Amino acid sequence: MATSRIWFTKTGAAVGCSTSFTGRHTVAVPLAPALNERGRHCFPHKAPRRSALRTVVPIAKRPQASAAADGGATDGNPVGGLLTQPATQSRAYQLLCAVALLGGVTRVAFTEQYLAACFQGVATPATAVQVAFSGASWFVVAAILHALKEAAEHGRLASTTYQRLNLAVVLHAVLMAVLDALACRNGLVSPSVFGVHITFALALGFVCDTINGQTDSSTSIVNTALSLGAAVPRALLSLLRPANLLSAAYAALALSAGTAGLLCLLINTRWMLAVLARHLPATIVGLELFFKRTVGNGLLTSAIALYTLKDAADRGRQDASTFRLLGHALALQAAISLAVMHFYRSNRGYLPPQGWTPAWQSLMIAILVVCGFSSARSAWIKRAK
């Protein structure tokens, strides 16, 4: 049923409208006045036709909230359903960040106790240095996880920057699991310690990979590898075209750290064992090689973080909180590495190999200088505002 009402004020102005009742909602159609031959407003005495009143505006249906959004879980992957909620994502990142910080502090501050308890090995200076280096890289991983936690709380995980950081953590977790599995097979680590390490590596990779939108665990690693492989050529081209001086410095550091990480990971095993056997006992050679590859894994993660800072410098976003946090973590990693090497050379009689030591020290000093300069610059700009 449709009705039409017209009201007039004392001055003759029309304030009426036509209303159509459809049973579900009400649509009001204002009546436009007409002009008579004298130029005055007039309204027809008859109501407008029904077709004019039935101006139906479709009302969009309210989207039904999914089970995951309401706190439930998806049928195929219950844990993956929980990880679609920002609050759960933030808590997961926070927990992983705390564990990563604990692992970094343990390897750096309690190196000898860590080796004796977890790897049943004597803490020679050479092995202890590698353990401390690998522990320093965990501070970068913890900084990335904290940045992802902040992004989850503000709904920014879909951006390219945080997708790249998620993939960096997934890559770190996959390489960590592979290296720990090889160490367990070679008898370098006890099964109980291997279980703890592999559990954390799998949890780290699963959480970051699932939140990144790949919930199918049977194909997630393949998709992650394809994503990283497709991004490498674009990243290399971007590194060769910096937008400013700071971006060029980050690009050079990213290339250097990535190259050093690949060399540590893909080093010739037989050649390395022959070299180490001249200076180390046979029981320590395997640990030295294992931790050298662990250091390479950390360097690859640092290279991705440096590339992220380079991309931010290209866009003039290096003063944002995420990039300042990454810069602080990289500077801390470099400072710890330099301090550890100096401590073991001065107090424990550590004689580093002459071939890679100058290159390693130069890389760490360059990271410390560039990231420290960028952090000081950001702090000065923030204080000036």
The b/e string for 250-284 (b: 16+ C-beta within 10 A; e otherwise) is bbbbbbbbbebbeebbeeeeeeeeebbeeebeeeb
Lowest mean pLDDT across 152-156, 249-253, 336-340: 152-156
Choose between 177 and 30: higher pLDDT: 177
Q: Is residue 16 part of a domain?
A: yes
Residue entry with tokens 């008859």: 46
Instruction: Check whether 4 has a pLDDT greater than 80.
Output: no
Looking at the fold, whether 257 and 324 belong to one and the same domain comes out as yes
Q: What is the pTM of this model?
A: 0.74
Joined tokens for residue 228: 């990283």
List pLDDT tens digits, range 286-325.
Answer: 777 888 899 999 999 999 999 999 999 999 998 899 999 9
Domain enclosing residue 19, as ranges = 2-53
- Greatest mean pLDDT range, 41-55, 114-128, 150-164: 150-164
**Alpha-carbon distance 358 to 352, whole Å?**
10
Q: Is residue 186 part of a domain?
A: yes
Please check whether residue 352 is in contact with residue 341, taking contact to mean a CB–CB distance below 8 angstroms: yes
Instruction: Check whether 139 has a pLDDT greater than 90.
Output: yes
Share the mean pLDDT of the chain. Answer: 76
Task: Give how far Cα 318 sits from Cα of 97, 129, 247, 311, 379, Å.
Answer: 22, 32, 10, 9, 11
pLDDT of 73: 39
What count of residues does the chain have? 385
Looking at the fold, whether 299 and 152 belong to one and the same domain comes out as yes
Looking at the fold, whether 190 and 315 belong to one and the same domain comes out as yes
SS (H, E, C) 111-156: HHHHHHHHCCCCCCHHHHHHHHHHHHHHHHHHHHHHHHHHHHHCCC
Q: Is residue 353 part of a domain?
A: no
**Strand, helix or coil for residue 21:** strand
Looking at the fold, whether 376 and 256 belong to one and the same domain comes out as yes
**Alpha-carbon distance 280 to 352, whole Å?**
12
Q: Is residue 128 part of a domain?
A: yes
Residue 92: CB partners within 8 Å, gap ≥ 6? 83, 207, 211
Q: Is residue 181 part of a domain?
A: yes
List pLDDT tens digits, range 20-69.
Answer: 444 444 444 444 455 554 555 555 544 444 444 444 444 444 343 333 33
pLDDT of 298: 95
Residue entry with tokens 């564990």: 99
What mean pLDDT do residues 353-375 have?
A: 86
pLDDT classification of 259: cutoffs 50, 70, 90: very high
Looking at the fold, whether 232 and 91 belong to one and the same domain comes out as yes
Q: Is residue 59 part of a domain?
A: no
Residue whose C-alpha is closest to residue 253's, from 316, 334, 193: 334
Q: Is 295 left (phi over 0), alpha (psi -120 to 50) or beta?
A: alpha
Looking at the fold, whether 285 and 331 belong to one and the same domain comes out as yes
Amino acid at 60: A
Lowest mean pLDDT across 48-52, 121-125, 177-181, 251-255: 48-52
Residue 358 sits at φ, ψ, to 5 deg, of -60, -40
Lowest mean pLDDT across 38-42, 152-156, 241-245, 318-322: 38-42
**Alpha-carbon distance 236 to 274, whole Å?**
34
Lowest mean pLDDT across 45-59, 242-256, 272-286: 45-59
Residue entry with tokens 């993939």: 167
Task: Compute how many other C-beta atoms are within 10 angstroms of the C-beta atom of residue 178.
Answer: 14
pLDDT classification of 284: cutoffs 50, 70, 90: low
pLDDT above 70 coverage of the chain, percent: 67
**Alpha-carbon distance 342 to 348, whole Å?**
10
Instruction: Check whether 141 has a pLDDT greater than 90.
Output: yes
Looking at the fold, whether 166 and 203 belong to one and the same domain comes out as yes
Looking at the fold, whether 113 and 33 belong to one and the same domain comes out as no
Q: Are strands 41-42 and 17-21 parallel, antiparallel or unpaired?
A: unpaired
pLDDT of 62: 39
Task: Report CA 88 to chain centroid distance, whole Å.
Answer: 16
Looking at the fold, whether 147 and 47 belong to one and the same domain comes out as no
What mean pLDDT do residues 209-232 have?
A: 61
pLDDT of 366: 95
Amino acid at 235: A
What mean pLDDT do residues 337-361 have?
A: 81
List pLDDT tens digits, range 261-273.
Answer: 998 888 765 655 5
Q: Is residue 347 part of a domain?
A: no
What mean pLDDT do residues 203-218 have?
A: 69
pLDDT of 240: 87
Looking at the fold, whether 136 and 26 belong to one and the same domain comes out as no
What mean pLDDT do residues 142-155 have?
A: 93
Q: Is residue 355 part of a domain?
A: no
What are 26's strand-pairing partners?
Answer: 21
Looking at the fold, whether 298 and 163 belong to one and the same domain comes out as yes
Looking at the fold, whether 110 and 163 belong to one and the same domain comes out as yes
What mean pLDDT do residues 84-100 have?
A: 90
Number of domains the chain is built from: 2
